[in-house]
Amino acid sequence: MNLPYYLVVTDEVTYADSKHFRIRINPKYRDNEPLIVHEYEHIKQQYFFMATMLLTGVIAYFMGYTLAAIYFAIFSVTTKDLLYTFVRPLRYYFEVKAYAAQLKQLEYEHGSAVVHDNAMTFAEALTTGYNLNVTKGKAFKDIVTAYLDL
């Protein structure tokens, strides 16, 4: 099942990013399906946290906790973004999953020969670009493991 999202092509990003249900991508990469798949993985994560929070809100409501239900509903849209920003291990997990999905798409388009080199490139990105305090070896291992689990 494909979850709905909207794609914005803009010069405001260097490569691509996603927030809530929107993917922004630089015009140079508008046809880069692996990059879009990476950002779409973040969209799926957003939907998961939104659904979890809304379901928790519904349960709270039926248990008589109306105010809590309202808070769960309000924070359902922002929970993933808050966790991504402030909880480093979750940010790492989110990115590993997104890079694994991107790697799978690269394999689909170009064959298995591209997997190792791209996994190394993604591991390097995780060690330098996300403030995660992780080694390149661990990032590589985790990306490949997540890729093999897909």
The predicted-structure confidence for 50-70, as pLDDT tens digits, reads as follows 999 999 999 999 999 999 999
What residue ranges do the domains of the chain occupy? 33-149
Q: What is the pTM of this model?
A: 0.94
Q: What percent of the chain has pLDDT over 90?
A: 99
Count helices and strands (H / E) in the chain. 6, 3
Q: Which tokens is 58 given?
A: 């519904």
The Cα 71–Cα 67 span in angstroms is: 6
